[in-house]
A and B are shown apart, each in its own frame.
Chain A
Amino acid sequence: MRPRLVVIGNGMAGARTVEEILARGGDFDITMFGDEPYGNYNRIMLSNVLAGVEDESGIFLNDLSWYADNGITLHTGTRIDRIDRFAKVVYAADGTETPYDKLIIATGSRAFVPPIPGIHRPGRGYHQGVFAFRTLDDTRAMIRYAREHQRAVVIGGGLLGLEAARGLQNHLPHVTLIHAAGHLMNAQLNADAGETLRATIEARLGIEVIVNGRTTEILGKNAVSGVKLADGRVIPCDVVVVAAGIRANAEMAAASGLVVERGIVVDDRMRAQDEDDIYAVGECAQHRGETYGLVAPLWDQAKVLADHLTGVNPLAEYHGSRVATKLKVAGVDVAAMGLTEPERDDDESLTFAEPKKGIYKNLIIRDGRLVGATMVGDVKKVAFLMQAFDRGLALPEERAELMFDLGGPAGEVKVEELADDEQVCNCNGVSKGAICSTVQSGCRTVSGVMDKTRAGKGCGTCKPLVQRIVEWAAGGEVEEDPAASYYVPGIPMPKPELMNAIRVHSLRSVSSVFATLGGEEDAKSKMGLASLLKMMWGADYVDERDARFINDRVHANIQRDGTFSVVPQMKGGVTTPAQLRRIAEVAEKHEVPMVKLTGGQRIDLLGIPKEKLPEVWADLDMPSGYAYGKSFRTVKTCVGSDFCRFGVGDSTALGIALEERYQGIEGPGKMKLAVTGCPRNCAEAYVKDLGVVAIDGGKWEIYVGGAAGAHIRKGDLLTTVGSADEVMVLTGRFLQYYRENANWLERTYAFVPRIGIERIREIVVDDADGLAAALDTAMDASVAAYRDPWKDRDEPATPGQFRTSLPLTVLPQVPVRA
């Protein structure tokens, strides 16, 4: 005979648990008892039914045929009075008795109705016009009654009370919400958030809100005519809805001898205390001191119970839920989770408030993890916050990103809502599905997945999204990648430590760094090390050509067809007819397939085969523009004061001087500069790694950390100086500080916010650390070591330096434009 499973309670918890049991192939003879006369419905949606946005029929989860189809015996409208734990029998109010082998109690909770005088009428239950808000019958009766009346009072300003008040507005014109505590939703919100919510509810929804309002009496002889508050005020009304919280339905369990505190006490397997065969689940259960009034914990509990009961996973345990609350009221967005106030001295608390717009945001962070979040009026970031809260994810360095989208498209996407075939990395065409399957195949570090799939290895903008997908796919089992803090993946050291070791051991070549510090050479680390060593040793650097990326081996930028682009230097974007004529002649002579103006105000000759590079350079006889390296690129300028009628500073002269001095300096990333002659910013100086803006009075503003590529950021104002000479010095000093301290491939737009503009200003401008002289000296040495690489054309640096690597046939043919 199949074991008999009896379920007391046919609400969301009872039915869900049975569904989970059936899904696991549980073989039981199931009998369910429901107090209400219906199949199973979604109680959460009652607010929507009241608000008129959902039809009654839409909220049923399992209709009666579901019970029949699954062989479940359902007794609706039947209340269980008592459990005989020893005889293993339950007794119903109608006198029937039902034996069980396993028993699940899912009796849920009921509305808590405070003992207010006048709320009940002897012999009739509630006073006429008074309603609780808990069941489908409550909701139906409330709607029917409200339609014929004018003024409603809702007692209780929690989640349910707010939803009830909003819903009632669809049925009558005046709604007043009375809340006994000092602010709305006091269980989930702090006072400021509650106050913001109150203002929004009043202004936007037109619901009158009374806080600190203790209802002392329900007035009215035959029907309700008003409520009286402790301060003597009387609020006239003809409908009263009580939404003052819930209480677990645990009396029957207590009377039957189970351990009951605020709910039926259960262990981590959802078993009632000291019972082998009795379980409790949902709102009637108390687990580790907590009772829950929300649906998410119920799903978790139902799974554990089913795992355990069916034996699918006898070790399954429920460890409690981290609950997040969302208010479902149209036009009023509220989400809250965890703490509402900092508890410890070192808890970080971040608050943003814009009361006029009804926006309040608060985050509480402990040891780098999110432990509380409140969002009122703007819940755009809530999906990420809930994940971060639930899984204890690492938080972005820039805390403001938790509250706002600071540019970059990756912020708002919900990982769980992305389709599997959705392209995540738009540079390398990697889908969410590809990332997930890589994680499932056992790769559990973000960098590992990036290596395997190439996701995030293009422009890098999608990296945060890739990280979140990996975290999501790994279900919180992401492994910290120690290499994330290394300067390059192949040497296990952060940059300062690495630089120190290089100095201590006097390592002047990339191969000696591997031999001394890394063990084995790593192709992907060579370029970063070459850049660092060149910066550190200048002329004493031992150049090994294999450490260079192909662009740096041949001083040109490799193109998709294996040819190269040649960009001659054109300082400050200023050229001459003679220079243009020469470029034109070279382009004609070598039949250059494309001549293109660059964004950095230069001329690009595209499609040059590698073996022709030295010849092209010789014919041009111009210095390299460095349009290929992780190095100082160009200084974009506007016309400036020579011709422009608005110009207040000689931007072209300063731009040319800057390019002249800092040309070709290598660094951890590209360095693009601009000088603009007035704040109209024609040269786009606000969005450069370093941008200089002339302002009236002969002064120059210096901005650092700007970007306008895949990432867009306005630079931070470093300082304002009175002369072009000072701009020259501070530019060199800032660039040197960046070169020495930025991680490999970390552009200034990431570096500057990481260090902080104030700190950079202290070092570079104020010389608070006394580093300025050393930075200037180091930069001077690098400038002195400069040599135009295109002069190396007569004698190849290595055998076959310019020999073609081009295959003969299969290359994609780049179309030639006429």
Chain B
Amino acid sequence: MRAIGPAAEIPPGEGRTYTVDGEMVAVFRLRDGSVRALQAVCPHKGGPLADGQIDLKQVVCPLHLNAWDLRTGCSLSGQPDLAVYPVRIDDDTILLGD
């Protein structure tokens, strides 16, 4: 588990991309205050998922509007699934990994 940045870096309902050990991870801060972390690159055509719109359940890629379940990484529109990473906020810091 490692700290990747302050929680305040991510506005509510948005996502930001972090580089962790050479891996690109998109971290989203949901409007209920919780966080989710998934692979940052859309498996369809390489779109930046952190630029996508989210709700409490899904993220929608900005390029072709494919959608994935934020919790499981499962595709909701017939694309390959996304890798998901454990993530949480502790003391206003985003902690990634187990």
Contacts and interface: CB of A to CB of B under 8 A. Distances in A.
B67 A523 contact: yes
Contact of B48 (A428, A520, A549, A562): A562
A812 interface: yes
B51 interface: yes
A198 B51 CA distance: 66
Contacts of A803: 16-17
A805 interface: yes
Contacts of B56: 520-521
B55 interface: yes
B45 A799 contact: no
B37 interface: no
Contacts of A451: 67, 76-77
Contacts of B15: 805
Contacts of B45: 560, 812
A811 B63 CA distance: 13
A440 interface: no
A457 B67 CA distance: 13
A810 B23 CA distance: 11
B10 interface: yes
B11 A808 contact: no
A812 B22 CA distance: 18
Interface string A557-576: 01011100000000000000
Contact of B31 (A521, A561, A805, A812): A521
**Residue in A452, A547, A558, A805 with the greatest tally of chain B CB atoms within 10 Å:** A805
Interface string B56-68: 1011101111110
Nearest to B48: A805
A454 B53 contact: no
Contacts of A454: 64-66, 77-78
A315 to B, nearest CB: 36
B40 interface: yes
B97 interface: no
A546 B16 contact: no
A527 interface: yes
Given A454-B64, A454-B78, A805 B59 contact: no
A562 B47 contact: yes
Contacts of A521: 31, 55-56
Contact of B46 (A428, A523, A812): A812
| Majority-rule SS of A interface residues | loop
A550 interface: yes
A453 B75 CA distance: 11
A524 B60 contact: yes
Given A428-B64, A454-B77, A805-B51, A511 B31 contact: yes
A546 B14 contact: yes
B51 A558 contact: yes
B54 interface: yes
Interface in A462-518: 511
Interface in A140-194: none
A424 to B, nearest CB: 14
Contacts of B41: 807, 810-811
Contact of B54 (A523, A798, A807): A523
A549 B46 contact: no
B73 interface: no
Interface string A199-236: 00000000000000000000000000000000000000
A805 B40 contact: yes
Nearest to A610: B51
Nearest to A544: B13
Contact of B14 (A434, A520, A545, A811): A545
A396 interface: no
Contacts of A799: 8-11
A806 interface: yes
A453 B78 contact: yes
B24 A807 contact: yes
A558 B16 CA distance: 16
A812 B50 CA distance: 17
A546 B13 contact: yes
Interface in A511-550: 511, 520-524, 526-527, 544-547, 549-550
A520 B30 CA distance: 12
A808 B65 contact: no
A804 B17 contact: yes
Contacts of B62: 549-551, 558
Contacts of A561: 46
Given A562-B46, A805-B16, A805-B48, A523 B58 contact: yes
Contacts of A553: 51
Nearest to A808: B24
B80 to A, nearest CB: 13
Contacts of B14: 545-546, 798
Contacts of B8: 799
B40 A800 contact: no
Contacts of B77: 451-454
B11 A807 contact: no
Interface string B24-38: 101000010000000
10 contacts: A544-B13, A546-B53, A561-B46, A562-B47, A799-B9, A800-B9, A807-B46, A807-B48, A808-B24, A810-B46
Interface of B: 8-17, 19, 22, 24, 26, 31, 40-41, 45-56, 58-60, 62-67, 76-78
Given A546-B12, A550-B53, 11 more contacts: A451-B77, A520-B55, A544-B12, A546-B11, A558-B62, A562-B47, A562-B48, A799-B9, A800-B10, A805-B50, A810-B41
